[in-house]
Amino acid sequence: MKAHRNEIDGLRALAVLPVIFFHAGFESFNGGFIGVDIFFVISGYLITNLIINDLNKHSFVLSNFYERRVRRLLPALFFVMLSCVPIAWMFMLPSDLKYFGQSLVSVSTFSSNVFFWLKTGYFDSSAELNPLLHTWSLAVEEQYYIIFPLVLVLIWKRGYLFSGSIIFCALIVSLLLSNWGSDTFPNFNFYMLPTRAWEILTGALLAIILLKRNKIFNSKLVNQFFSLVGLGLIIFSFFIFDSATPFPSFKTLIPIFGTALIILTANKGTLAFKFLTLGPIVTMGLISYSAYLWHQPILAFARYRLVEELSLITVFALCSLSIVIAYASWKWLETPFRNPQIVSSKLILQLTMSLIVVLVSFGLYLHYTNGALKRTPPDYLATTFYKDLNKAPNRVGLYGKNCVTDLPELCTISSINENITLLIGDSHSADFSNNFYKFASQNNIGAFQLSMGGCSFMTSSFNKNKMCEKASLLLRNLIELKKVDRIIFITNQYKHLSYLPELEANKNIDYFVDTISAALKNNIQVIYFKPRPSFKLSVPRAALMQKLNNPIIVNTRYKNLLDSQIDSIKDENFIVFDQHEIIIDKLCDDNLHCNDGLFEARPFYSDTNHLSKYGAEYIFTKFNEVFN
């Protein structure tokens, strides 16, 4: 095995800094997330080197390998998690605290990549508020560490070439699966080991290649050229990739190949080596793990606490703070725990098991108490403030089975075969799931629901979500076959339209009006909820942090255009329920500014645009008064 390679430390620095800048929101580093992929290659290379070195000496012991991994990863990770707990308890709303508790359990059980795959997209706007989102990559590595040593022990007995061939074949299979998955199942593809393994296996293959020779090329000029190409490919990737890039996929080969070239050819004397072994860069590489651990919680909690968009100065300060804390963490936490003379094997085992039990127990407590829902809110809020935000599921509640779905399927609310009513729309319609059930029961009607998050039932949504297009076709089919007597239509159309060019917005509005007209021609009653106001800031978070001064209403770009088209529909079967006006009258001074987004210190909203349980009940009560 080669001696410690300082250029690998420099490569770690080159990986972690763009990740920090990406999470900080610097637009120039939209591809900074590929730093994680560089880490994967480095891990595969170093871990394979360690294992092969011990295997060749006939001294490999699996328990020793796992102990080294525990010493390397868990003390700093668990300390970060413990540090997050009191901050989350003080600042987080119940639904967010419950989610945080679930993430504590998943991180402690090395399955956070599975949790985040099921719960959130890495590039979702809400992701930047999640203090433990970045731990998904640690879970991938931890899962790899469980499997790979066992496999390598078995295949290494068959020799160098056989082992390399097996690893290469596994790499190719994983790469092909990853490229296919980038379009077919992108969220799974991003988070999960089967589609990420090829990146770590690339590092493993490099370790095997370099086992027989310290240098691939004897020519200094060739090494100079390829190491600079490798450096260029990595830097190039930081600036050309973004959240829209299918990832990981064949395109990920660019930074992976660049990393491989550096590991293979950045030898002493090359410019790449000289750059990567500069003192500050090596130091940054040494603290890179702690920097990776600390930056996301610091940025996430700052955003959560401050509510408003962070200023450039604030972001720079937070990034600098992350690096300072990372240095302290590396010096006084990482380094001592790696030394068996300071922390014995018995103590590290006891501490690890104890902390897993503590973190899992607290996480389960937060889950089963719905984020400590019975906590007393600050004095300036109503005592029911937290409970008002709770959207507890019941048979058709928000997130109830099949009623809020990613599939174009109707959810049966009431099986009565007369006066059949369909509640349809995006997540704004889902806010009224509980109330719609009561509405169906009180009015003795047949009722169905199709609430598909992010689906506007306009053409702009179809390119983003093929299931949305199928749901729209299902609606059109129900209309043509006269399968329903009434449609209640609720979407956040102001927001859906706000991102479009004017010509495209007009086409979307025309499509929607045509859908309404088709229903009216078939003697189907249409009840249209005008979209509610959307606030720039999260109403409950801003209220909790006492930053709810004159909150601004957003996404109004095509409000008048849509409203005029809706108002032009003249038909006795067409009813417009103006929830927008009701909310403005209750909460706001005018159409652009509101006093505080609260009523009698109770939250009307659960975020920037979704209603709280209290808000939904109030609006639907008003609707019942009109309907009856």
> Quick one: DSSP state of residue 574?
E
> Over the stretch 162-218, which tens digit does the pLDDT of each residue have?
999 999 999 999 999 999 999 889 999 999 999 999 999 999 999 999 987 767 777
Confidence of residue 400 (pLDDT cuts 50, 70, 90): very low
pTM: 0.88
> Over the stretch 10-41, which tens digit does the pLDDT of each residue have?
999 999 999 999 999 998 899 999 999 999 99
Q: Rg of the Cα trace of the chain? A: 28
Per-chain mean pLDDT for the chain? 91
What pLDDT was estimated at residue 398? 39
> Over the stretch 106-135, which tens digit does the pLDDT of each residue have?
999 999 999 999 888 777 667 889 999 999
Rounded CA gap, 197 and 175, in Å? 8
Contacts by residues 435-444 (CB-CB < 8 Å, ≥ 24 positions apart): 435/616, 435/617, 435/620, 436/396, 436/488, 436/620, 437/394, 437/395, 437/396, 437/413, 439/620, 439/624, 439/627, 440/413, 440/414, 441/414, 442/624, 443/419, 443/627, 443/628, 444/416, 444/419
For residues 407-430, give the mean pLDDT: 88
What pLDDT was estimated at residue 381? 87
Q: Is 545 exposed, middle or buried (0-12, 13-18, 19+ CB in 10 A)?
A: middle
Rounded CA gap, 620 and 622, in Å? 5
> Over the stretch 270-295, which tens digit does the pLDDT of each residue have?
999 999 999 999 999 999 999 999 99
Q: How many CB atoms lie within 10 A of CB 28?
A: 11
* Three-state secondary-structure class, residue 215: coil
Going by C-alpha positions, the residue among 437, 431, 474, 479 that lies closest to residue 453 is: 431
> Over the stretch 49-65, which tens digit does the pLDDT of each residue have?
999 999 999 999 999 99
Confidence of residue 2 (pLDDT cuts 50, 70, 90): low
Q: DSSP E strands: which ranges in 475-524?
A: 486-490
At position 368, the amino acid (one-letter code) is Y
Confidence of residue 546 (pLDDT cuts 50, 70, 90): confident
CATH number of 392-534+555-581+616-627: 3.40.50
Residue ranges of the chain assigned to CATH 3.40.50: 392-534+555-581+616-627
> Over the stretch 209-267, which tens digit does the pLDDT of each residue have?
998 776 777 788 999 999 999 999 999 999 999 988 999 999 999 999 999 999 999 99
Question: Over 60: is that where the pLDDT of 393 sits?
Answer: no
Q: What percent of the chain has pLDDT over 70?
A: 94
What pLDDT was estimated at residue 105? 98
